A and B are shown apart, each in its own frame.
Chain A
Amino acid sequence: MLHVLFHAGVEAFAFPALRVRRVVPFASLKRLPGSPDAFAGLLQFRGSPVPVLDLSQLVLGRASAEVLGSRILITALDDGSGLGWIAESVRDTAWIDPSHFEAPPVRVDGAPWLGKVACIQGQFVQCVEPSELLTDEIRELLRVHATE
């Protein structure tokens, strides 16, 4: 099962590749005033605006920097509409057997989106569950956005 790897700080995280429709370069987004910090803005993708969330904001609590390797992952929501994720150091993919993933021995209540961990080439990689990342506030925002 292929995963797209990204980094938040020094920690490596894996995003399921099958959820990804396209990886696009970091581009300037249309910011929406009054939106929560995790909402980075709107991206023009194939003629239609796509909301983009900031993984670094969600994971680390800070905005992603516009550096080489910072990219936007376009995923499809359940209703087929697109959703973008900004991440840093999106440079590699990794094929990880699902059996390699193991549930971590501790459960962190504040971060339900953190999934199982696997060890690749001596380094821990933690799987990120995109649906868990969507808080109620963001879901509300997206739903409003989708209905428009």
Chain B
Amino acid sequence: MKFRIREKILIGYAIGIACSIAIGIFTYTANVASVRALKGVHLATDIGKVAYQLRLQMRVAESAQRGFLLTGQDIYLEPFDRAIADVGPLIDSLEALQRRQTRAILDTSRVRSLTDRKIEEFKATIAAQREKGFDAAREMILADTGRSLMEDFRITMERFQKALDDSASELLEASSREVARTQAIILYGTIATALAMLCAAILLARNISVPLRLLTLAAERISIGDIGSESVRSERSDEVGSLSRAFDVMRQYLRRMADSSRAVAAGDLSVEVEVASSEDKFGRSQSEMIRRLSELVEQVQRSGVQVNSSAIEIAATTRQQQTTATEVASTSAEISTTAKEVSTTSTDLLRTADEVNSVAEQAASLATNGKTGLVRMEAIMHQIMQAAGAITAKLGVMSEKASNITSVVTTISKVADQTNLLSLNAAIEAEKAGDYGKGFSVVASEIRRLSDQTAASTADIEKIVKEMVSAVSAGVMGMDKFSEELRRGATEISEVGRQLDHVVERVQSLAPSVDTLNEGMRSQNLGAQQISEALSQLGEAARQTADSIRESSRVVEQLNEASRGLQAGVSQFKLRN
């Protein structure tokens, strides 16, 4: 076949369209005939209705005439006039309707003469009843003209009705024949059309879709990146053939591009891409891409080195910051602790100040008591001083007496010494006297013994008196010292009294100071607590900062890692020069 795909498709559609047109023509003609027959049936029915109305009105007129004849009452004549008035128009419309068809024809002039004569007969009998009475009317009816006329009318109308019915049934039969024929045409025509279209579609599909499927498979492989090696080239002269040839050219082009891309992917940026034509945007863009990529790689290499050094600097800075933040956190924690201690201390101080205040009040009262006690004590001390003066005077007297005793004792001891000397010389003289001096020697030794005893006693007395004198002089000195101390004590007591007055003054002036101190301590306490809270927050912030710095340090480490990876990756590229 030397047809192109467009012509093949048009032929296939033409078969289908021709079948459809044939089915339409046949169906339409059959339908037109059927409609015409159905219209004839409709007209026959309308004519039948009018004919039935005409017969009905004649019967109504007859029954009214009979009622009046029998009764003589005018009331029975009421439907008569309406009925005979309708007869003429009904015959006219019947005449008009039957002019539209040819099958069943009523002789309307004969019907009109029959009805006119019958109506004349009705009117004559009615007039006879009214003028001559029932018997005359009965005579006229028994003449049988009226009945034969009515019979003639009835037979004519029935014959017409039958002719109408026959015509209608004949038309209905024709219509159903046409409908059946239409059904057959539709059924068989549709099947035939479908078969023809199917054959055409199968032929077309086999002719077009098989090579297209091969091309599609190749295109799908290309779409998933598999360019493939086998050729899809076809020598067909139609569009499929040219498509396959163009596809093959495209495949070879893609292969070239893939090769250059593979080289780029392997890091060889020195590959050259040949541009197929001026419209080869892909080739141009790939060439441009390789050029830009080369520049980018160079830039990235430079930037990578910079990033690496910057990351190292950032890491060092971050470590410093981290240390600083940790120090800040610990320092603020220490300061916070110190501030808390200050707060605690100031609270303690506050309590202590209160205690000091109460103690000071007690001290003031005690000092006042002490002052009165001191005044009393001063008076007592003056009395003591006078007593001490008296004692000193008495001691002076005692000292004088002791020196008298000493002089007496000295005299006694001198006498005893002289006695001793005398006894010694006596003993010597007695010795010289030999036996004559023996008795004297005894006397001399007795005298010496007495003098020795006296000397010993006087030595004792002297010793006692010396002790007494030293005791008395010590007592005098002690009393002098005591008096001096008493005087000093008195001065000190008055000094202490003045100081106690000062103390009372100071203590009384202490209370407002303690209040001021309390106020200050309270505000200091508050401030310390605020400082402590603020420092806690600062510490928390510093800890958070430290955490975030640690986080950023980790990030910087990652950055460092990334930049090392970047450098390693970039170093795989081989640049053109």
Residues on A close to B: CB < 8 A?
Answer: 2, 4, 17-18, 20, 22-25, 68-69, 71, 90-93
Query: Contact: A23 with B448, CB < 8 Å?
Result: no
* CB neighbours of B420 from chain A (8 A): 91
Q: How far is the CA of A90 from the CA of B432 in the complex (A)?
A: 19
B29 in contact (CB, < 8 A): no
Query: Measured between C-beta atoms, what is the minimum distance from A143 to chain B in Å?
Result: 27
A17 touches B452 (CB 8 A): no
Are A25 and B421 closer than 8 Å at their CB atoms?
yes
Fill in one digit per residue for B414-440: 1 if any A CB lies within 8 Å of its CB, else 0: 000110110011011001100000000
Interface contact B427-A71, CB-CB below 8 Å: no
State how many angstroms separate the Cβ of A21 from the closest Cβ of chain B.
8
Q: Are A93 and B428 in contact (CB under 8 A)?
A: yes
Nearest chain A residue, comparing its CB with the CB of B432: A18
Hey, which chain B residues are within 8 Å of A25, CB to CB?
417-418, 421
Other 12 A-B pairs with CB < 8 A, given A4-B428, A24-B421, A68-B455: A2-B428, A17-B427, A17-B431, A18-B431, A23-B421, A23-B424, A23-B428, A69-B417, A91-B448, A92-B448, A92-B452, A93-B445
User: Is the Cβ of A20 less than 8 Å from the Cβ of B428?
Assistant: yes
**B332 touches A (CB below 8 Å):** no
> A108–B240 Cα gap in the complex (Å)?
171
Contacts of A2 in B (CB 8 A): 427-428, 431
Residues of B within 8 Å of A4, CB to CB, are 424, 428
Q: Cα distance A23–B432 when bound, in Å?
A: 14
User: Which residues does chain A contribute within 8 Å of B425, judged by CB atoms?
Assistant: 22-23
Given A4-B424, A22-B425, A69-B417, the answer on whether A91 and B452 have CB atoms closer than 8 Å is: yes
Q: Which residue of A lies closest to B459 (CB)?
A: A68
Flag B437-465 by CB within 8 Å of A: 1 or 0 each.
Answer: 00000000100100010010000000000
A-facing mask of B2-36, CB < 8 A → 1, else 0? 00000000000000000000000000000000000
Chain B residues whose CB sits within 8 angstroms of the CB of A68 once the complex forms: 413, 417, 455
Give Cα distance in the complex from A24 to B418, angstroms: 10
Q: Is the CB of A90 within 8 A of B424?
A: yes
B292 CB to nearest chain A CB (Å): 134
Contact of A71 among B421, B445, B448 (CB under 8 A): B421
| A25-B421, A71-B421 as given contacts; A93 in contact with B452, CB under 8 Å | no
Point out the residues of chain B lying under 8 angstroms from A20, CB to CB: 428
User: How far in angstroms is the closest Cβ of chain B from A12?
Assistant: 16
A-B contact pairs, 27 of them (CB 8 A): A2-B431, A4-B424, A17-B427, A17-B428, A17-B431, A18-B431, A18-B432, A20-B428, A22-B425, A22-B428, A23-B421, A23-B424, A23-B425, A23-B428, A25-B418, A25-B421, A68-B413, A71-B421, A71-B424, A90-B424, A91-B420, A91-B424, A91-B448, A91-B452, A92-B448, A92-B452, A93-B445
A23-B421, A25-B421, A71-B421 known; A93 and B427 CB under 8 Å? yes
B413 touches A93 (CB 8 A): no
Q: Which residue of A lies closest to B430 (CB)?
A: A2
Query: How far, in angstroms, from A93 to B424 measured CA to CA in the complex?
Result: 7
Give Cα A92 to B417, complex, Å. 12
The 6 closest A-B pairs by CB, nearest first: A2-B431, A23-B424, A93-B427, A17-B431, A17-B428, A20-B428
Complex contacts, A22 vs chain B, CB 8 Å: 425, 428
Residues of A within 8 A of B452 (CB): 91-92
Which one of B413, B417, B420, B428 has the highest number of Cβ atoms from chain A below 10 Å of its Cβ? B428
Residues of A within 8 A of B432 (CB): 18
Q: Which residues of B contact A71 (CB under 8 A)?
A: 421, 424
Chain A residues whose C-beta falls within 8 Å of the C-beta of B428 in the assembled complex: 2, 4, 17, 20, 22-23, 93
Instruction: State which residues 33-77 of B face A: CB under 8 Å.
Output: none
Query: B443 to chain A: closest CB distance in Å?
Result: 13
| Interface 1/0 per residue, B192-233 and A, CB below 8 Å | 000000000000000000000000000000000000000000
Note all chain B residues with C-beta closer than 8 A to A17. Answer: 427-428, 431
Q: How far is the CA of A18 from the CA of B445 in the complex (A)?
A: 17
Complexed CA–CA distance, A22 and B431 (Å): 12
Min CB–CB distance B391 → chain A (angstroms)? 36
Q: Which residue of A lies closest to B451 (CB)?
A: A91
Bound complex: CA of A23 vs CA of B427, how far in Å? 11
Contacts of B418 in A (CB 8 A): 25
Q: How far is the CA of A43 from the CA of B289 in the complex (A)?
A: 156
Determine the distance from Cα of A2 to Cα of B445 in the docked complex, in whole angstroms. Answer: 12
B contact residues around A90 at 8 Å (CB): 424
Chain A residue at minimal CB-CB distance from B422? A23
**Nearest CB of chain B from residue A52's CB, rounded to whole Å:** 16
Q: How far is the CB of A69 from chain B (nearest CB, A)?
A: 7
Q: How far is the CB of A19 from chain B (nearest CB, A)?
A: 10
Measured CA separation A93–B449 after assembly (Å): 11
Assembly CA distance A27 to B257 (angstroms): 160
Cα(A143)–Cα(B310), bound, Å: 131
Cβ of B417: which chain A residues have Cβ within 8 Å of it?
25, 68-69
Which residues of chain A are near B445, meaning CB under 8 Å?
Answer: 93
Q: B264-292: which residues lie under 8 A (CB-CB) from chain A? A: none
Q: What is the distance, in angstroms, from A96's C-beta to the closest C-beta of chain B?
A: 12
Q: How far is the CB of B428 from chain A (nearest CB, A)?
A: 5
